[in-house]
Amino acid sequence: MSFIKDNIQRMDMKPFTDAYPYFDSYRSLLFPGEIVDREKISWIYDKRRLTNLARAIDPSIKLYTKDNWFCKLLAWLLVICTFGSMPRKTFMEKFSTTIGPLHFYPKSKSIAGVLRSILHEGRHTQQARWCSFGIHPWVGLPIYAILYLLTPLPLGFAYLRCWFESDACMYAWTIGLQLGTYTTDYIHNRAIAFAGTVCSGKYGWSLPITYGAPMFLQAAHFAVDTAEKRKASNEQKQSS
Ligand SMILES: [Zn+2]
């Protein structure tokens, strides 16, 4: 399994380097203390820049708010499928949702909030694209949906749901560490906290936490190692 995982992760090195200049210009916005206003202003006022940023991860991405019939329908379906563990209001006002190339963010989410989520959500779009062998996330979406929602079981042992989530975190953490917007401590704590969410009813009890938490910690370790290797090779390039 780790052989497959390493290879899937290697498949997507190009988007990392493509995205880098965009994220560099956003780096200062992510530092605490410099983002007070960014924490208060709704992302919809900076939609154009955020869209450009997201398209550096995958060119197909489109950003929307959650104020539409589709998200409202999804919210009710999730309430039913998770037996109320994912409340409608939490889904509509707190959670970011990605369906293939479409990213839905709550209107009340701040610019900084979207910046913190955009890498993770962008990775889900890439994952859908993998399932089409690179053609388009819409083409890959049916297979991705089966893998994400049902494999091997829809509730209680959705191994691939947990893996896709840990992979999306790994992607976001690696870039964040490279940019200096995350610390090693932060991502380790975040790994345990987010494993708790993904293994809870909110994500349909994807895996028991005893299996899920190590998966997220492994993703954190992988991110730390990769970021360190890239930093070292960048420094070597600069000095030579
Ligand atoms: Zn996710």
pLDDT, one tens digit for every residue, the chain (240 residues): 454 444 444 434 434 444 444 555 555 555 544 445 666 788 998 898 889 888 888 999 999 999 999 999 999 999 999 999 999 999 999 999 999 999 999 999 988 788 889 999 999 999 999 999 999 999 999 999 999 999 999 999 999 999 999 999 999 998 888 877 788 998 999 999 999 999 999 999 999 999 999 999 999 999 999 888 888 887 888 787
**pLDDT score at 196:** 95
Residues pairing with 99 in the sheet: 102
**pLDDT score at 101:** 97
Taking a C-beta distance cutoff of 8 angstroms, is the pair 53, 27 a contact? no
* Centroid of ligand 1 to alpha carbon of 236 (angstroms): 34
6: helix, strand or coil: helix
Contacts of 54 (CB under 8 A, 6+ apart): 61, 63, 103, 118, 121, 122
| Residue (of 7, 23, 14) closest to 175 by Cα position | 23
Residue 77 to residue 147: CA distance in whole angstroms? 18
* Centroid of ligand 1 to alpha carbon of 239 (angstroms): 38
**pLDDT score at 105:** 97
155: helix, strand or coil: coil
* Centroid of ligand 1 to alpha carbon of 121 (angstroms): 6
- Beta strand extents in 41-118 (DSSP E only): 62-65, 97-99, 102-105
Strands of the sheet with 97-99, listed across from one edge:
62-65, 102-105, 97-99
Residues pairing with 63 in the sheet: 103
* Centroid of ligand 1 to alpha carbon of 165 (angstroms): 5
| Residue (of 131, 230, 91) closest to 173 by Cα position | 230
* Centroid of ligand 1 to alpha carbon of 91 (angstroms): 13
Side chain identity, residue 175? I
Residues pairing with 196 in the sheet: none
* Centroid of ligand 1 to alpha carbon of 163 (angstroms): 10
* Centroid of ligand 1 to alpha carbon of 238 (angstroms): 35
Structure-block tokens of residue 191: 């790994």
| Residue (of 189, 158, 175, 60) closest to 117 by Cα position | 175
